[in-house]
Structure 1
């Protein structure tokens, strides 16, 4: 069966070029190896499109089981979300509230998924240790900061749910105790810390992971976008790139927010990329840290729907992220940078004089189901996909790759039922990005009044 490919993606071309990451801090922290393009016909057991956390984890597990594996990326490992995110390795992956998850899937399926999010964090920790990946790990769990009195009350109610459903004892700090824990900002009304997870340098992780994958015998080809997919009479997948071809029994799609609408055609209308932007300051002096009263290295995020996420890096730079624009143009990029700086100055007024040395943006993937996907691709033989981690891809994106390998091999950890639900199409199809201004506008109003 032939599937003609005419590459079409949802955002303006700038989103898929070098401009959004030209000033990324992570790219200055480690040498970035270059993987040559595929330049000849090649054969393998499994071919993977996408050299981020998901694709590389799938490749590693399949290779350890004895498979011959090829990974193709349109750019280079870590070029997409895996090398430009905030580095929060924590619970999460779905955009459903716990209440909605219980109502839609039931107690058993919800608990199964929640336990999987915990396994995902442990999975990344194991990779860092097993392969001696030095990724600047810090933070004891994650801390949710209440942006309002109402969110503080709801946060306190979550403690018992976390204990019952996940076996985790979270701790709450009232507003008057934040300063003594190095979390001083008049913006916040309290803080809930869940003692699972840690922060990392995401680029160091993905580059170290790619090195482990290479050492396992996997072939990684960069600058090799897939331009056509066919299946021969034996059912083998034939993938065409500008300078070479791959023939494989198994096909794995791991392109997440950088997916095309047409590679394969099944993806059309099923993934909604949303921009996220990050600024990083210059190094802060001990006096500047004391002036603000923010000395904690906890990875934090606030309780807004249009959330902010932030953490003090090991070298005393402050990282600060937020949801970005609905467009990918230079004007939109600059406007979001201005907004990010305004929010930063409001939350940390003692640092209004501190220069922002780095700023960049990227795409995260949202599913219409609001749950991550890791499973067989409907209507395509011997094809699997994993994507849509809703801004929590460090842990869940990594573990989803391992789960796909388990499905292909027929042994290993079980994929939660919640994650195998086929991705639904968004109602507006190729025009679905038009709903983002409406959603963001509603969230902004809600964040102000709640």
Structure 2
């Protein structure tokens, strides 16, 4: 496999202190150890792959999921656990220019539908995910961004049709969101969850419906044949009529070659503290379980979890390797200390990183891979894969059966990915872009 980053990024180093692994244990699945056949092969056991497997198996389709490591090893098992609106970085203006008003609203309503899909899965399969938070709150890190939040609030009725509340700086302490903020906006859509518990619940439901899941089963070769596809795994061959690529930021440049230059992994780092006491929470003035993020381009995202641990993450990691990982973790901790000075002495033994996935047009892609009959893909959720990845898997399950999706499937999601201008050297764009973002965030 040809990958964009060095080997360290795809090893256990970046995730060895991941809190989610300690929070919930799951059974190990075996590796694929003999040649076999399936209707649909799915590469990647994250939100997209497991959701697709569940929906396909429920429809009576023979489905086999393959993961190079284990369930949720990639970004799905490393994220902040925000089931929220998102999946794109495209503005309303860009969506209007490309798809018109109707296309823009269709995509925005799909973001909401993605949250509702996850809610339905959790309820239908009785998955305990440590759910909390009544929607999400965006907090203005600068006075000028409060004006931007007010403008954003004015679009919410048309785009989503959900209720919302603007908060002045003076309101925040009473809401349990004290900090260096100039106000905020709460959107009543979404919730926080434990992504590992959700993933394991998805996997269990998919297997109960008939899906097969193999771990430690990297696909090293993907070959088109007259009668479908041949996948090489652990020295064995899996024959499939159709294939779904669900590897997102952990994709490779050559499985298939079409992916080369069309996706851009970007690091996100997270720390989790020990459980906080009531006195410690009161000292910081943060007593709510509301999931929140600030208005920086390189945003911080944070939430108090049900066990009273505090999760704090940020975008901005550029380099890989053990030293770079340690440096990125230190930067996250420094920003945490600056935002919550009352917790400077609170331990945060859990820290890790994962790769979100960006697209040239800042939109997710869910659909048929051009010029590759029987090959489908879902990726590029721009750091919001809990809801959008799950939703994309459900769409893919219908598409590979030759069905017109019953759910919303706007053009903004079905338009194939364009290549980044720098192709294989596109990583060079990240430091430059992040430097510009840091200046803009001041």
Instruction: Give the shorter-chain TM-score range.
Output: over 0.9
- SS of the residue corresponding to residue 273 of structure 1 reads strand
Cα pair 1:89 1:200 within 8 Å, conserved: yes
Q: Counterparts of 1:415 and 1:42 in 2: how far apart (Å)?
A: 33
TM-score, normalised to structure 1's length? 0.96
- SS of the residue corresponding to residue 181 of structure 1 reads coil
Q: Counterparts of 1:266 and 1:148 in 2: how far apart (Å)?
A: 42
Which of residues 160, 163, 174 in structure 2 aligns to 1:169?
163
Deviation at 1:267, TM superposition (A): 0.7
- SS of the residue corresponding to residue 118 of structure 1 reads helix
**Match in the other structure for 1:351:** 343
> CA offsets, 1:374-406, max 9 Å, x none?
000011001110000000000000000001112
Residue 267, structure 1, aligned to residue 259, structure 2: yes
Q: Counterparts of 1:316 and 1:328 in 2: how far apart (Å)?
A: 31
**Match in the other structure for 2:222:** 229
**Match in the other structure for 1:4:** none
Which of residues 223, 232, 238 in structure 2 aligns to 1:246?
238
Q: Counterparts of 1:215 and 1:177 in 2: how far apart (Å)?
A: 48
**Match in the other structure for 1:292:** 284
Unpaired runs of 5+ residues, structure 2, are none
Q: Show structure 1 runs of 4+ deviating over 3 A.
A: none
Q: Counterparts of 2:17 and 2:26 in 1: how far apart (Å)?
A: 15
Deviation at 1:165, TM superposition (A): 2.4
Residue pairs, 1:17-32, within 5 angstroms = 17-32=11-26
Residue 79, structure 1, aligned to residue 90, structure 2: no
**Match in the other structure for 1:123:** 117
Q: Counterparts of 1:104 and 1:345 in 2: how far apart (Å)?
A: 42
Deviation at 1:103, TM superposition (A): 2.4
Unpaired runs of 5+ residues, structure 1, are 1-6
Cα pair 1:38 1:245 within 8 Å, conserved: no
TM-score, normalised to structure 2's length? 0.98
Q: Counterparts of 1:233 and 1:420 in 2: how far apart (Å)?
A: 26
Residue pairs, 1:319-334, within 5 angstroms = 319-334=311-326
Deviation at 1:34, TM superposition (A): 1.2
Cα pair 1:63 1:217 within 8 Å, conserved: yes
Q: Counterparts of 2:100 and 2:226 in 1: how far apart (Å)?
A: 43
Deviation at 1:328, TM superposition (A): 1.0
Cα pair 1:257 1:272 within 8 Å, conserved: yes
**Match in the other structure for 2:54:** 60
**Match in the other structure for 1:341:** 333
> CA offsets, 1:132-175, max 9 Å, x none?
11010000000000011110011012222101222122101100
**Match in the other structure for 2:82:** 88
Q: Counterparts of 2:274 and 2:205 in 1: how far apart (Å)?
A: 32
Query: Size of the alignment, in residue pairs?
Result: 440
**Match in the other structure for 1:213:** 206
Residue 440, structure 1, aligned to residue 434, structure 2: yes
**Range that drifts further, 300-309 or 321-330:** 321-330
> CA offsets, 1:80-123, max 9 Å, x none?
11111000000010011222222232101000001100010000
**Match in the other structure for 2:5:** 11
Q: Counterparts of 2:16 and 2:316 in 1: how far apart (Å)?
A: 17
**Match in the other structure for 1:3:** none
- SS of the residue corresponding to residue 318 of structure 2 reads coil
Deviation at 1:327, TM superposition (A): 1.2
RMSD of Structure 2 on Structure 1 (CA)? 0.9
Cα pair 1:46 1:251 within 8 Å, conserved: yes
- SS of the residue corresponding to residue 70 of structure 1 reads strand
Q: Counterparts of 2:408 and 2:162 in 1: how far apart (Å)?
A: 22
Cα pair 1:12 1:327 within 8 Å, conserved: no
Q: Counterparts of 2:216 and 2:247 in 1: how far apart (Å)?
A: 14
Which of residues 307, 310, 315 in structure 2 aligns to 1:318?
310
Q: Counterparts of 2:264 and 2:321 in 1: how far apart (Å)?
A: 18
Cα pair 2:298 2:316 within 8 Å, conserved: no
